[in-house]
Amino acid sequence: MPFEPINPPQFPTPIAPYSAGAKAGNTVYVSGVLALGDGGVVLHVGDAAAQTRHILEVIKITLEAAGATLADVAMNHIFLKDLGDYAAFNLVYAEYFPGAKPARYCIKCDLVKPECLVEIASVAHIG
């Protein structure tokens, strides 16, 4: 089954060769999202909560461009640079997923840029 790349026009050009998302049938895959602005500049340096909010807004926009919503998310893949940010991350995350909670995992790891504290990739199923 061919897939449709999803690249909302308001997003900056990705820092590597990938699409913001891909839709295959009723499934939407959102690439790992970092808190990046134009030119790959890291936003909200030192603030995991603000980076989380920015990332979830980008995921929301990507899903909407594919005909999905955050309520369609079945799985989130979460990467934190420092587990000390876990509580701040969860406070913001809970705002975006107030109802049924998607499955998820959280891994502590280095991210593409040292100022990045959070990365999230998502999988949503429509209908």
For the segment 7-57, what is each residue's pLDDT rounded down to a tens digit?
998 887 777 899 999 999 999 999 999 999 988 899 999 999 999 999 999
63 pLDDT exceeds 90?
yes
Number of domains in the chain: 1
* Domain span at 121: 4-125
Residue 107 CB-density burial (10 A; 0-12 exposed, 13-18 middle, 19+ buried): exposed
Longest dimension (CA), the chain: 41
AA identity, residue 112: V
Q: Where residue 25 sits, what CATH number does that domain have?
A: 3.30.1330.40
CA distances from 38 to 11, 41, 70, 73 (A): 8, 6, 24, 27
Rounded to 5 degrees, φ, ψ at 102 are -70, 160
Rounded to two decimals, the pTM is 0.96
pLDDT tens, position by position, 78-96: 999 999 999 999 999 999 9
pLDDT band for position 126 (cuts 50, 70, 90)? very high
**pLDDT at residue 58 in the model:** 96
Q: How far is CA 7 from CA 10, 18, 23, 30, 66, in A?
A: 9, 9, 11, 10, 9
Q: Which two tokens stand for residue 89?
A: 């991350």
- Residue 89, classified by CB atoms within 10 Å of its CB into exposed (0-12), middle (13-18) or buried (19+), is buried
Length of the chain in terms of residues written: 127
